[in-house]
């Protein structure tokens, strides 16, 4: 690390700090939160994308819309480099989850006690605003980068990652990327893959008064869930992972049967399975088939089938994200964060799944997650810590100056 420090030129962070005020970054977060962009809005992410494009254009930054699906544009902005440097992409999603039943006004952002409240304030219009403001600050400070710096404001991360799939397939291509999901200012170069599975159980219908004439699919499902948790989940936890959080699973949905007086002939159990790079999908499926086999041995009427639920994916499997902790981008983010935060930042593993995995794996752009802190993503009270907005901007800018040169 000490050798690295001597070769890293001191970049003018003070110049960046002066170029954009804290109030401006906060103002942009407010403006983005005010524009609903969830799946129940007929125009989806369109208004927020158009707003961001105009905002950047007013700053004199090259910004374009690229239609991913009809009326669902990504915003691609760029500070073109003078040549000879590495390129970097800052990626953030423009969509949010719906407000559901929030305890706060979802689209009237309020600041109180250093917290900015609203739907998407944390996940992730704050990260996105800090990223957009990074381009603005570098441009205003007249920092000339050698490599290209891109901003990709993408659609659909909360659903099928349509926006980032488009980036992977159609560009722009960068050497490395940062995703600005909230990480509490921790550097997160890894996270688990995400697979949704459906276990279907088939029985035989009969009248509840003559239940022994039927075969109950709900009973099969319950025996399966017991074994899944007592056996497989225990083994997964014990297995752990040298690179990230341990593999895990969650039974999220169970449905079956028609009414109390009928023996259920069908039952479905939906499972969320988080898998690590030390595992592979084949093993993930085989572990479930092994449970089916064990249950069949003790009950010949046991009949089950395993299906993939790919509704959360467009075409690309939700693989794990893994960038080694000694990678140039991780070191650069760590150095930059240390200077801004005044202490060595934590390098940890993200608990959720993000678009970073698609960019690292399918786009061959090593991607690390770094963003602000707060609480309540997808829940009833969501807020971002306003003090983290400028810190993120400075860390992004410092990393861009180091990576792009």
Q: Rounded to the nearest whole angstrom, what is the least distance from the CB of residue 181 to Zn ion in the complex?
A: 5
Q: Rounded to the nearest whole angstrom, what is the least distance from the CB of residue 401 to Zn ion in the complex?
A: 26
Q: Rounded to the nearest whole angstrom, what is the least distance from the CB of residue 358 to Zn ion in the complex?
A: 13
- Listed in sequence order, the residues at least 6 apart from 16 whose beta carbon sits closer than 8 Å to its beta carbon are 137, 138, 141, 143, 393, 394, 397, 398
Residue among 35 and 267 whose Cβ is closer to Zn ion:
35
Q: Rounded to the nearest whole angstrom, what is the least distance from the CB of residue 125 to Zn ion in the complex?
A: 10
Q: Which residue is nearest to Zn ion (CB)?
A: 123
- Listed in sequence order, the residues at least 6 apart from 238 whose beta carbon sits closer than 8 Å to its beta carbon are none
Q: Rounded to the nearest whole angstrom, what is the least distance from the CB of residue 154 to Zn ion in the complex?
A: 10
Residue among 78 and 356 whose Cβ is closer to Zn ion:
356
Residue among 335 and 388 whose Cβ is closer to Zn ion:
388
Q: Rounded to the nearest whole angstrom, what is the least distance from the CB of residue 179 to Zn ion in the complex?
A: 9
**Dihedral pair phi/psi, residue 120, rounded to 5°:** 90, -5
- Listed in sequence order, the residues at least 6 apart from 12 whose beta carbon sits closer than 8 Å to its beta carbon are 141, 143
Whether omega for the bond prior to residue 124 falls within 30 degrees of 0, making it cis, is yes
R_g over Cα of the chain: 24
The C-alpha atoms of residue 327 and residue 325 are separated, in whole angstroms, by: 5
Residue among 85 and 320 whose Cβ is closer to Zn ion:
320
Residue among 123 and 166 whose Cβ is closer to Zn ion:
123
Residue among 224 and 383 whose Cβ is closer to Zn ion:
383
Residue among 124 and 400 whose Cβ is closer to Zn ion:
124
Q: Rounded to the nearest whole angstrom, what is the least distance from the CB of residue 157 to Zn ion in the complex?
A: 6
- The residue ranges that bind Zn ion (CB under 5 A) are 123-124, 181
């Amino acid at each position: 690390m000490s050798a690295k420090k001597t070769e890293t030129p001191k970049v003018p962070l003070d110049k960046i700090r002066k170029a954009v005020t804290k109030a401006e970054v906060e103002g942009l977060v407010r403006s983005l939160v005010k524009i609903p962009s969830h799946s129940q809005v007929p125009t989806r992410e369109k208004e927020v994308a158009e707003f961001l494009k105009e905002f950047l254009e007013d700053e004199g930054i090259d910004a374009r819309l690229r239609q991913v699906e009809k009326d669902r544009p990504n915003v691609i902005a760029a500070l073109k480099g003078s040549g000879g440097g590495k390129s970097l992409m800052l990626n953030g999603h423009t969509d949010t989850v719906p407000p559901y039943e929030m305890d706060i006004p979802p689209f009237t952002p309020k600041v109180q006690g250093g917290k900015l409240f609203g739907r998407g304030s944390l996940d992730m219009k704050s990260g996105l605003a800090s990223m957009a403001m990074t381009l603005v600050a570098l441009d205003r400070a007249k920092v000339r980068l050698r490599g290209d710096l891109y901003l990709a404001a993408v659609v659909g991360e909360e659903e099928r990652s349509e926006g980032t799939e488009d980036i992977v397939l159609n560009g722009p291509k960068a050497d490395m990327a940062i995703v600005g999901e909230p990480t509490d200012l921790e550097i997160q170069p890894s996270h688990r893959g995400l697979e949704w599975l459906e276990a279907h159980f088939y029985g035989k219908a009969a009248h509840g008064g003559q239940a022994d004439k039927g075969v109950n699919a709900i009973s099969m499902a319950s025996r399966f869930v017991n074994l899944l948790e007592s056996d497989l989940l225990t083994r997964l936890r014990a297995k752990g992972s040298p690179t990230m959080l341990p593999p895990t699973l969650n039974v999220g949905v169970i449905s079956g049967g028609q009414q109390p007086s009928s023996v259920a002939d069908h039952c479905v159990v939906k499972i969320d399975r988080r898998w690590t790079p030390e595992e592979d999908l084949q093993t993930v499926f085989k572990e479930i088939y092994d449970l089916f086999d064990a249950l069949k041995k003790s009950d010949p009427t046991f009949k089950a089938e395993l299906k993939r639920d790919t509704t959360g994916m467009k075409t690309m499997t939700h693989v794990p994200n893994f960038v080694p902790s000694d990678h140039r981008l991780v070191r650069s983010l760590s150095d930059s964060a240390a200077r801004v935060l005044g202490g060595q930042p934590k390098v940890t593993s993200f608990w959720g799944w993000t678009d970073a995995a698609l960019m690292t794996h399918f786009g061959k752009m090593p991607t690390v997650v770094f963003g602000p802190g707060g609480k309540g993503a997808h829940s009833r009270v969501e807020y971002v810590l306003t003090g983290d907005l400028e810190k993120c901007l400075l860390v992004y800018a410092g990393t861009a100056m180091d990576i792009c040169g």
